[in-house]
Amino acid sequence: MISLFFFSYKRISRNIKELHTIQKKFEFITTASDIIIMQYDVVYRRFTHWNPSSTEPHKSFNIKEYWAYIFPEDLPIAHQLVDFMDSRNDNPCTCEYRYLSPSANQYSWQYNDVFPFEHDADGRVTSYISVCRHNNKWHEVENKIMQFRQNISFITLSNGIMFVRYNVNNDTLYHLDNSGELTENIITFDTYWNSVHPEDLPKAKELINLMREHKMESFQTEYRYKNPDQDDYNWLVVNIAAYEFDSYHRISSYMCLCRNNNTWRQAMDEMIELRNRAESANKMKNAFLANISHEIRTPLNAVVGFSSLINDEMPERERNKFKLIIDQNNKMLLQIVDDVLALSKIESGDIDFIPTTFDIYNFIQSVTDSMRVVIRPNIELVCESQEHFNVSFDSRRLTEIISTLLVNANKFTHNGNIKISYNYQERGLYVSITDTGIGIALKDQQRIFERFEKVNNFVSGTGLGLAICKGIIEQAHGKIGVKSELGKGSTFWFWIPCKKEK
């Protein structure tokens, strides 16, 4: 009997020791994992916080106290949990909310696994056990991941970056979101081919074929691409890199980073345009020097040559003839210098306009009267318009334009007439000068407004007159043009914006 009692006592002691060991392990696990055990009594609607080391209640509190520990915004979640347990649902459930422990000074995220624990004689749940795990670290990681995704999204949006993933196994392109996360948005190859600029299709097909072969780990290309919701193509620099590998270290997917390259392309186009302009300006400078040298040399040679021939012994009639030639060439030299200076001012934007108000009829009559001395005797100069109205414009510039056009008409008209007409239209002054001269071929009608361009190189002049007229008119925000046909004369016209006054 004593032996049996001793054996039972020894066995009970061993069980108690094992129980203590299990309690210690359980306490270590709960403490290390930041876990607390809560029990909810459905009948009395009370919570009990159990002590894992002693398996004794640590603290007990009622529903009202429980609500006070919940973060206000999370109270609906806590209410749902209590309603679930009060309904005596015999299934487990989970939930998460922010909870303020009695000994803490700030809320902590708490993840709850709730299980039915005790039942009455009818099988209804009478209490639940909740394993409550502090979840702050998980939320900190989640917040960091969310912040990282926001940063990535900001970078991609601000730099025009798009992520695309290619799956080698199912030969599928996926359009990822701005943070690089996989979405269900599949880019079909029909859509892809239709979105690539036709001229760049070979580059796009090369890219797809390289990924289908899945041998190269990285590649870069560039092509124009248009999203379905866009009207214009965008330049994309596409960098691909092997993203996933199978167990045999074979590439199973690629990540494609597509960056908008419009700004760089635009800058390159501007640089090319500036280079072309610089080359054109250099050619124009060389042409200018060659032309101006030729134009100056001709009258200068005449001045120098005839000046050296004049002496006191030669007949007066011949001497006067030489003086006239020298005088004409001096005027030609002066005209060349004036034209070059005028063109230089126009091209540098240094031309000024001093508007005055004057009667257009009287003005045209004055210009034509002063020009009659240079018009050939057998050519009739006629002003067809008779309307009187005042305009506000720089009369000096207007005189310069009309005089140049009349001089040109006189050069290429051997008989017939030169007619001037004017009217006020589209809030500006329209003037046309029509001659019965030799006319201008269609292919030459644009280039004659450029510097040193002449239809007939055997006719005197620098080829700067029309370029100066065009420069003055464009500076005044006007337009100039010509209508002509070989052998049937020409009509030069211009329009300048100005005010009309009665």
| pLDDT digits (tens), the chain, 502 positions | 555 444 555 565 665 555 455 555 545 555 555 788 889 999 999 999 887 655 667 788 899 999 999 999 999 999 999 999 999 999 999 999 999 987 788 999 999 999 999 999 999 999 999 988 888 888 888 888 888 778 877 777 777 788 899 999 999 999 888 766 766 688 899 999 999 999 999 999 999 999 999 999 999 999 999 987 888 999 999 999 999 999 989 999 999 999 988 888 888 888 888 888 888 777 766 766 666 666 677 677 777 777 777 777 778 788 788 788 788 778 777 777 777 777 777 777 777 788 899 999 999 999 998 888 888 888 999 999 989 999 999 998 899 899 989 988 998 888 899 999 999 998 999 999 999 999 988 888 888 888 767 666 656 666 778 888 998 899 899 999 999 988 889 999 999 999 887 6
**Which of 480, 415, 423, 476 lies closest to 450, judged by CA?**
480
pLDDT at 354: 86
pLDDT at 216: 92
pLDDT at 492: 94
Identify the sign of the CA torsion 288, 289, 291, 292: positive
Gap between the Cα atoms of 402 and 223, Å rounded: 53
* Interacting residues of 204 by C-beta distance below 8 A, sequence separation 6+: 192, 193, 196, 221, 223
For tokens 């609607």, the residue is 45
Gap between the Cα atoms of 111 and 132, Å rounded: 6
> Residue 53 burial by CB count (10 A; 0-12/13-18/19+): exposed, middle or buried?
middle
C-beta neighbour count of 74 within 10 angstroms: 17
Three-state DSSP at 223 gives strand
**Is the pTM here over 0.85, yes or no?**
no
Distances (CA, A) of 203 to 2, 194, 199, 221, 268: 96, 14, 9, 7, 20
Gap between the Cα atoms of 149 and 146, Å rounded: 5
Structure tokens at 355: 């508007």
Gap between the Cα atoms of 494 and 478, Å rounded: 7
**Backbone phi, then psi, for 498, in 5-degree steps?**
-160, 165
Gap between the Cα atoms of 130 and 49, Å rounded: 10
pLDDT at 203: 94
pLDDT at 5: 47
Instruction: Give yes or no for a contact between 37 and 113, defined as CB atoms under 8 angstroms apart.
Output: no
- 314 sits in the region (left: phi over 0; alpha: psi -120 to 50; else beta) called beta
- 69 sits in the region (left: phi over 0; alpha: psi -120 to 50; else beta) called alpha
